[in-house]
Structure 1
């Protein structure tokens, strides 16, 4: 069973928050605010925060810029994961991923089923890795952001979480880039 190993020291990670929206400003970004409040309450560092239009290339360019930065360990985007024509965040994430974390979407759907029933089938939440950086795309609702953080990311981004977590393997995420 999962647990927190209190004998280990907490390691803060640097997290960038990207809101994808054609209409929101920072003043109206409740989902981004929710993620910032939760990551800071958990002891992590807000590395950066931006809002971009729901344009595949714009989203992918911002993800790539943060992945290339030594100041960002994790990127969490919110918005643009639905089924409509303007929802291209998932495609932009997949343009950037070196590896997809398939189980992230599955576990998010399981969590969502407990909260919103079969409406969870409409979510395309996804996770992946690129250039040693974790990327997660969440729906734009505050409820979805709370669920993803509280039930998945809070634990997987805590080095003390046992039996395993994302933080402990961070130093090895880009090992293929260092091979000669």
Structure 2
């Protein structure tokens, strides 16, 4: 992972060497890792102008939980964004004008607290787990936008489109990937 990130950092620095890009490794499914990374980030920078939350795992085939016993997709894709809250002082330091950007996806659902851990996996549906985590991202964005506007911090939600070459679809079989691609292409036409 770090090797791929370093390549991106080099590309950014090639375009504009004045942009300060840093790599901090963390596991969003491990809240201790999130807290540790936030501590390192907060200690090493003065402000954050833009925070882009663009991490997820998708359609994990078998029910799995984080070490905090939260369904793994929800833990990684949504609860892991505890990072946003822990970095808030650095966003405030960049306001007015600091921005938080969330990247939910094509697949969403109505929020349902009864699905939180799928009865400890007994009623687990991979796509519903993913959809629930992405719906939570959207609701989080809306809440942040309302709460932070007065402080000059803006929160946006966007769909980045279908991006090939990542491991996001690692758990998908060919049929699931085709369905997801068709959904994305259909939305792009609208």
- Shorter chain as normaliser: what TM range? 0.3 to 0.5
Q: TM-score, normalised by structure 1?
A: 0.34
- Which one has more relative contact order, counting CA pairs under 8 Å at least 6 apart? 1
Larger Cα-atom Rg? 2
Q: TM-score, normalised by structure 2?
A: 0.33
